[in-house]
Chains A and B, each alone.
Chain A
Amino acid sequence: MKKYLKTKGVVIGGITFLLVLIALLSLLGVGRTSFVQNTVAAITRPVETGIRNFVGTLEQMYNHMHNYDTLEAEHRELLARVAAYERRAREAEEIREENERLRTLLGLSQGIYNERLVDAAVLSWDASNWTSAFTIDRGEDYGIAVGDAVMTERRELVGVVRQVGRNWARVETIIDPSVRVGGQMGTGVSGIAEGNFALMGDWTLRLSLLPTGEVPLLNDVITTSGYGGVIPKGLVIGRVERVGMEGTGVSYYAIIQPAAELNRLVQVFVVQNVEIDS
């Protein structure tokens, strides 16, 4: 051992120095990535993108060959839904204009959320058994910051940004054990929607800390409460799948099936700079 240290002392010293340097750089910016990780990620991301595109092309070819009829039916249904949404959007626009006129008449402030959306593609999922997280192809360059909410095009909550690199960001999904979001039942009662390790494998999460005596209803839609001002209010978390009683025996909890199809995500939207205009 002594002989080894005498001959290889410089190598050991060099490796220790590098190790300490990486650890320090990582600790300097919590949530931000170190220079080393950014550099390695910059090299590996193009390969990941290439593999993702290759797999996507293969999947497209497979779908084209085997699911043509299903896709055609789905396409027709989607066209009908788009038409319905367009009609509703026109109606909503009329209502918005009317609302604006009435607010002006009454002298009320706007009081609405001002949000900017950044679209991003899902690059890869963490190959970890302990988290539920994925990497997207947008980062600091697009103004994405730690804590930003991530949702689908249907305003279904997907997760929260936890780590940001120059051209990528890491998103932890709502079923991850470390993610906690204010959740609201249809009745307006609030609780905490949180990931649980035992439920993560089933792609579900839990609504806890409900007031005593409040019983969640099966199939009730749970939305974000907006408390804390980070996650916008009204994003759909999911539906109540099961109801149970907490260990304390005085309050209930609910198991939620997320609205977003987490295992089939391709594109997501990062919600930035949520502020309330006053």
Chain B
Amino acid sequence: MSDATKNLIIRVLIHGAVLYVLYVLQGMVFSRLPLFGVLPLILPLSVVGVGLFEGPSWGAGVGLAAGVLCDIALGSTVLFTIALTGLGMGVGLLSSYLISRGFPSYVICCAAALLVLAFMQMFTLLVFLRQPPLALFRVGALQTAYSMLFALPMYVLTRSLARRAKA
């Protein structure tokens, strides 16, 4: 087995292990720690980080895996599988051609992604089930704010993973 293949396998395994730990944290630890009655979304933050630092291919691949885990943790069908794959690829393309790979870009991408995801999550409730919009927007805003508390540790984690992969 060549060094390149070995490195690729190690990189995939590390990403898989990190995603699994984040899935357990999101689904089983932070699900017991609501803040103002809401729970955070952590997995999308890692997808933004991988897309930003490792490019669109890794962003899309990690987004796909994170999306499947998110759909299981949150009980949705394929919403996150599709959204997070697109998110990882989109952020990867932006970082390749348009934006810098720094903390401000990461924070802006995370906030935008979390707001879009919150809107996607509330869409059915808002449009088809006609639930009160104010209550939905309040939960969407709180979910985004709570999740953003994890931006700094996730930035450090994904950047160190990318540096290790490049080394």
Contact = CB atoms under 8 A, between A and B. Distances in A.
Interface of A: 1, 4, 8, 11-12, 15, 18-19, 22-23, 26-27, 36-37, 40-41, 44, 47-48, 51, 124-131, 133, 163, 170, 177-178, 196-198, 201
A51 B139 contact: no
Interface in B14-42: 23-24, 26-28, 30-31, 37-39
A41 B72 contact: yes
B107 interface: no
A47 B24 contact: yes
Contacts of B139: 129-130, 197
Nearest to B58: A11
A18 to B, nearest CB: 6
Interface residues of B, number: 44
B4 interface: no
Interface in B35-54: 37-39
A223 to B, nearest CB: 24
A18 B131 contact: no
A5 to B, nearest CB: 10
B12 to A, nearest CB: 13
Contacts of A163: 75
B85 A8 contact: no
Contacts of A130: 121-122, 125, 139
Given A44-B23, A124-B28, A15 B75 contact: no
Contacts of A48: 27-28
B85 A127 contact: no
B14 to A, nearest CB: 17
B27 A23 contact: no
A112 B114 CA distance: 51
Contacts of A8: 56-57
B39 A198 contact: no
B93 A22 contact: no
Given A11-B61, A23-B78, 17 more contacts: A4-B96, A19-B85, A37-B68, A40-B69, A48-B27, A51-B28, A124-B27, A126-B74, A127-B39, A128-B39, A128-B74, A128-B75, A131-B75, A163-B75, A196-B131, A197-B135, A198-B135
Nearest to B40: A127
Nearest to A127: B31
B41 to A, nearest CB: 8
B77 A26 contact: yes
Interface string B108-145: 00000000000001101100010110011001001100
Contacts of A128: 39, 73-76, 121
Contact of B125 (A27, A133, A197): A197
A126 B31 CA distance: 8
B39 A4 contact: no
Contacts of A22: 68, 78, 81
B74 A37 contact: no
B91 interface: no
Contact of B26 (A11, A127, A133, A196): A127
Nearest to A201: B37
B68 A40 contact: yes
B82 A23 contact: yes
B132 A197 contact: yes
B118 to A, nearest CB: 9
Nearest to A45: B72
B131 A4 contact: no
B158 to A, nearest CB: 19
